[in-house]
Structure 1
Amino acid sequence: MSTLTLEATRLTADPARLQARLETFAALSEPGSGPGVTRLAYTPLEREAHAVFADEMRSLGLTVWTDAAGNTIAERGGTVPGLPALGTGSHLDSVPNAGAYDGIAGVVAAMETARLYDQHDVAHAHPVRFIAFAAEEGARFGQACTGSRIVAGLTGPEDLAAKRDAHGTTMADALRAVGFSPEEVAEARWQPEEWAAFVELHIEQGSVLESTGTPIGVVDLISGSTRVLLEVAGRASHTGGTPMHLRADAMAAAAEIVLLIESVANDSRHHGTRATVGRMDATPGSITTIAGKVELYVDVRDVDSDRQRLTAAEIVERAQALCVRRGVRLTAHTLADASPVILPGWLRESVAGTCRRLGVDYRVLPSGASHDAQMVNRVVPTGMVFVPSRDGISHSPVEWTGADELALGTDVLASALLALDRLLAPTRGQDDCHRDHHHGDRKETGA
């Protein structure tokens, strides 16, 4: 391979090729599931999407494998033996009735970066790994970022049987159903010495970039998330035969809890807190029967770790008092919990420096959503590049990012990885202390 420098040639992504890949993945959706894309974690459709990714990476001559957690990894070799890897990628699963961009934009940007390196015969000292993570969305099992949590050592075999979907299927059984052994997922864990840096491209899922006319976001902080299941148990009874004052109506109590949660997140003590009830399931679910049981799925997000957990605890405490007043019972279960993460400053500055060299305007901003980058930052210094989201909408069929906007983000990603390759490459025998310095920065600023 010949050496390509950033000063010599700018790698320019092809918007049409990116759009075509997005449409290929968008076509892989559950039949009859309604508008948008439905491709849930650890399903045959998710595996089919991973196979599309793997096939293209193999066509470029990359070494491809799938780990025990279902993450698919493609490696392009480096010119210096024994160096740790640089990495990029995102996920291919979706929430129900999603758009075509969340996660997938980062995967197609990784695929395009690999193609650009091949097309321009780019040489890099470190190996570069392009990754499609499994099971990033928490829509099916309540826990987000499962594939990346496993590689970061945050989820192990013992955790998988406790996570269930709406049909009662455990995550362990879901893994078995698509050909993986849940007992072996710990084998997928990454070792810090095997990694130099990781950069994830993602749509913003907010409106800051679009509203300010800024094409690129460089992320400094990723919000944490605490997810809680609240079970309200009342007494099912006939809607016509039961007087209002004799009811133990689980639905009425649940409705008041929803408004309580909104009120908590909106008060002056919680500036920056976001709290949502995204799903409610009522039993028996009949128009002529007072609800005897309601399940509420609550998501509390914050950039402040203590406030995040205290808010979740306050919601449970106040909901408990509300239920006592209404004569119903409340049970709370924590489904998942992830801390906010401050991304390493030196890596963020390296990505920002790439934007400046390319003459691309950028803005440093936090992420309100969770990402695989949040988890792998436990193992490897990690950065994130955002591209705009139209109207700030995500997790919706109308989610949209322009192909030209994604192409510019891919230009930044491809060049940023090469800049990191030069920054972290060994020189004059000083490579060990240089890498130790940066890994020390990661340890100080991680979750």
Structure 2
Amino acid sequence: MWKDLLPIGRDARSGGYRRFAWTGADADCRAWFRTQAEARGLEYEVDRNGNQWAWLGDPKAGDAVVTGSHLDSVPDGGAFDGPLGVVSSFAAVDELRARGAGPSRPLAIVNFGDEEGARFGLACVGSRLAAGQLTADRAAELRDADGISLPQAMERAGYDPEAIGPDPERLARIGAFVELHVEQGRALDLSGDPVGVASAIWPHGRWRFDFHGEANHAGTTRLEDRRDPMLTYANTVLAARKKARLAGALATFGKVAVEPNGVNAIPSLVRGWLDSRAADEQTLAAVVEEIERAATERGGRDGVEVRVTRESFTPVVEFEHALRDTAAGLLSAEGRAIPVLPTGAGHDAGILSASVPTAMLFVRNPTGVSHSPAEHAAEDDCLAGVLALADVLEGLACR
């Protein structure tokens, strides 16, 4: 399975993946998912929001145990973020069958669409729509860099954009959701464990900073006469790093757009996107407020107007303790408890946690690198993740 999926959407120059929502690479990933489902005799379906499902048992029976993740990527992302969870889900079903473990509850594998938000700027679109955390009207406003709206992209890919929206009936039939994911950090590497259980997801969000200055000639405008938004932006990037470090939080400007974007032109507008995360919501709010204050103060000196727009926000997610503890108990060997650790990365499991009991398993990442072609997990650790997921699924669905 891994070898079949590996070439899809891979960029020959960077070695990373560009599997963006509702593109050709995404369609190939979806075709791969359907092939895997049908090869196992699982009942395949696509929900109203474009999420793919493969069912073992009656989808309408209720109290289902669901596992899975996503197949899309960030720009030039790694091979493991998302796909490891989907591949491992199919492998775990194979393992359960090899054990002769017959589910007493419906069991499903899901591929949530557009988890990374690389094309339309909002993460976890498929799960947000299903959970009612993203309205159809707001989804219709999402556009990619070419001005193509989410509904237009879905329609071009052969899906009905008129159907998107909350799916409470489907969520009500799910008794538990367990997502396996490569760890995006080095906690397991440092502890020496191949697999861990998630305790919580840090609150996080995305803010757009618009720095409005005045376009002018780079070769004729005196420094004293300039209203250069690039200076304000650059100072804000440095301020974000400092404020986050002092608070024990994280802050990153990872995307920027410049107008008119000419080598010999002072910009009229610099637009930067801030990603910030912290262990608690109060700290996160304080850090973003301090970054905004630093930007505004510097903008006043540079003659630059600063506008800040919050584009998304996800509060802290405490995975349901009962399910989390059950998963940890099923995986803890005699005399050694499995690590239970928090993460700063968002996931579909975090979105669904408000509607469905959710849990997460992490597979060791020896370097901690993620969202990069260098992302990696050893084969032995991936196989350990499959067996761990099978153990949890068996404990939840087969007893």
- Fold shared per TM-score above 0.5: yes
| Aligned residue identity for 1:145 | C
Partner SS, residue 339 of structure 2: strand
**Matches for 1:218-367 after TM superposition, within 5 Å:** 218-267=197-246, 270-271=247-248, 273-357=249-333, 362-367=338-343
Give the one of 126, 129, 133 matched to 2:108: 129
- Counterpart for residue 21 of structure 2: 41
Q: Is the 8 A contact 1:215 1:362 kept in 2?
A: no
Q: Find the aligned partners of 1:401 and 1:118 in 2 and give their Cα distance.
A: 25
CA shift, 1:29, in A, is 0.9
Q: Find the aligned partners of 1:190 and 1:379 in 2 and give their Cα distance.
A: 11
**Structure 1 length-normalised TM:** 0.85
Residue 180 and residue 259 in structure 1: after superposition, are their counterparts in 2 closer, same or farther (change >3 A)? Answer: same
Structure 1's consecutive aligned runs of 4 or more residues displaced over 3 angstroms after TM superposition are 30-34, 80-83, 118-121, 187-193, 357-361
What percent of counterpart residues are identical? 33
Give the one of 380, 401, 410 matched to 2:377: 401
Q: Find the aligned partners of 2:386 and 2:41 in 1 and give their Cα distance.
A: 21
CA shift, 1:116, in A, is 2.1
CA shift, 1:346, in A, is 1.1
- Counterpart for residue 354 of structure 2: 378
Q: Find the aligned partners of 2:335 and 2:195 in 1 and give their Cα distance.
A: 11
**Matches for 1:124-163 after TM superposition, within 5 Å:** 124-163=103-142
CA shift, 1:229, in A, is 0.9
Partner SS, residue 52 of structure 1: helix
- Counterpart for residue 191 of structure 2: 212
| Aligned residue identity for 1:175 | M
Partner SS, residue 67 of structure 2: strand
Partner SS, residue 361 of structure 2: strand
CA shift, 1:193, in A, is 3.3
Q: Which moved more, 1:403-412 or 1:40-49?
A: 40-49
- Counterpart for residue 15 of structure 1: none
Residue 258 and residue 130 in structure 1: after superposition, are their counterparts in 2 closer, same or farther (change >3 A)? Answer: same
Q: Is the 8 A contact 2:205 2:275 kept in 1?
A: yes
**Structure 2 length-normalised TM:** 0.95
Q: Find the aligned partners of 1:106 and 1:192 in 2 and give their Cα distance.
A: 20
Give the one of 40, 47, 57 matched to 1:77: 57
Listed one character per residue, the Cα deviations across residues 235-292 of structure 1 (whole Å, up to 9, x for unaligned) are: 111112011111111111110111111111111xx22x11100011122222211122
Q: Find the aligned partners of 2:153 and 2:335 in 1 and give their Cα distance.
A: 46
Residue 324 and residue 181 in structure 1: after superposition, are their counterparts in 2 closer, same or farther (change >3 A)? Answer: farther
Q: Is the 8 A contact 2:211 2:306 kept in 1?
A: yes
| Aligned residue identity for 2:42 | L
Q: Which moved more, 1:58-67 or 1:166-175?
A: 166-175
Residue 190 and residue 413 in structure 1: after superposition, are their counterparts in 2 closer, same or farther (change >3 A)? Answer: farther
Q: Find the aligned partners of 1:314 and 1:296 in 2 and give their Cα distance.
A: 16
Give the one of 146, 152, 158 matched to 1:173: 152
Q: Structure 1 stretches of 5 or more lacking a match?
A: 1-20, 426-447
Q: Find the aligned partners of 2:203 and 2:7 in 1 and give their Cα distance.
A: 32
Q: Aligned pair count?
A: 399
Partner SS, residue 391 of structure 1: coil
Q: Is the 8 A contact 2:201 2:317 kept in 1?
A: yes
Listed one character per residue, the Cα deviations across residues 353-405 of structure 1 (whole Å, up to 9, x for unaligned) are: 11125887621100110001001112210100001112100011111001110
CA shift, 1:191, in A, is 4.5
**Matches for 1:25-64 after TM superposition, within 5 Å:** 25-29=5-9, 34-64=14-44
